[in-house]
Structure 1
Amino acid sequence: MSQSKKRSAGERASATRGATRDIDFARAVAQRPDPVLLLCHGYSGSGKSVASRALADLCGAVRVSSDTERKRSPGTVRALDRNVALPYTQEARHAIYERLLGLASDVLQTGYSVIVDATFLERRHRDAFFVLARRLSVPAALLDFRAEKQVLRERIDASKMGPADASDADSTTLQLQLADSGPLTADEMSRTFVLDTAVPLAHFDSPAFWAPVLDFVNAARSRPHPSHRTADGFFPSG
């Protein structure tokens, strides 16, 4: 075989391999479910951080955390150095939610689902993320993590006695949250999964615990065109 024919055959083989890789990549992308946005909701000590980490592992979502972003804030570092309780002031909270909103937007636009681990006790913060979901035509839902007040207090006390934790919340933080937060609206409850966290930690690793949430995530594989979905990001009932 002449050198030119060998070269031509080699080029065709190389092109075939490249095309095969492209097809495999396209198939993988097509099979990956469309992204969803999940917002944690609950008081400090409600178990949302531990639970949401387990959920992220189960569904392949990217988890972003207010505690982690708060630690990265230069203002928080300065406050902790001076033993000043700034991380949970109103100004600091708003700044952290703005940071989380930007991170969620970036991740969703790459095609991955996002779990935002924060208290989301203020409606203005929840509204901002639902506006983002509508803008990106992404289904969104709240994960409402619940536990009795005594359980919340015991968990917070225990976290202060154990290994270093990303959260700076203490009993005073919890008292402020309990005093200032209001209930979810009826409209918000229509897009909320209520989760009782007064269970053994092993339950969080079980798909059975998350069954309704995982159904919601998996439904993104066959979701209708954005123009056929309701404005809040949920699917129409019929």
Structure 2
Amino acid sequence: MTSSIIQTIDVVLLTIKNSTLHVALLKRENPPFQDHYALPGGYVHEQEDNDCLDSALRVLKTKMGIRPPYLEQLETFSGKYRDPRGWSVSVVYFALVPLEVIEAANTPLASLADIDDMKELPFDHAKIIRATVSRIRNKAQYSSLPCFLAGETFTLPALQKIYEICLNEKLNKVSFRRKIAEMDVIEEVTGQLSRQGAYRPAKIYKLKSPYLDKLKTLESGL
């Protein structure tokens, strides 16, 4: 008689800390790899979860105390050697969240790791993180995805810096602002300016609805 296939969900939460992309990891409380840091994940609950997205949202809420404004499915990782417990299938999701949201959750077993300076991780989690970063760097070339790292309000220079971190390259200021205008996902916050140091005050922007509504849901923990 063959053993049952292990069916799990793993989630890659990426944020920006110290001007670099970081990934959220959790210290494992049980074998295998007890006390090692790994991606937040867990089993699919057949009776409780309607689908894999439900499973991912439940995992993040119970283990990280976070409900992101969106979750995007990355891909499925499977095989007989990725998990020492047996043949396993993991459906992987990812999201970008502002640093303050992860810090506010104050999850005791959580840690942030620089994607360029990670130690060896359990299972195939390093491979999963590399695949996620590749996906984000590709999508940052044409989408508004990095805007979810900006928080509720931001300046255009700050938003450009976020895109540069996601893409791992410098951007032309004029070209970047043209692209943002074409995407039509942000709007100016009238009557507010950012005053930092000796620089000329910068205009403050926010995401348009429904993008801003999603961020507010994230920050309220609903």
Task: Name the TM-score, length of structure 2 as normaliser.
Answer: 0.26
Q: Indicate the structure with greater strand content.
A: 2
Q: RCO greater where, 1 or 2, for CA within 8 Å and sep 6 or more?
A: 1
Task: Name the TM-score, length of structure 1 as normaliser.
Answer: 0.25
Give the structure with higher Rg (CA).
1
Q: Indicate the structure with greater helix content.
A: 1
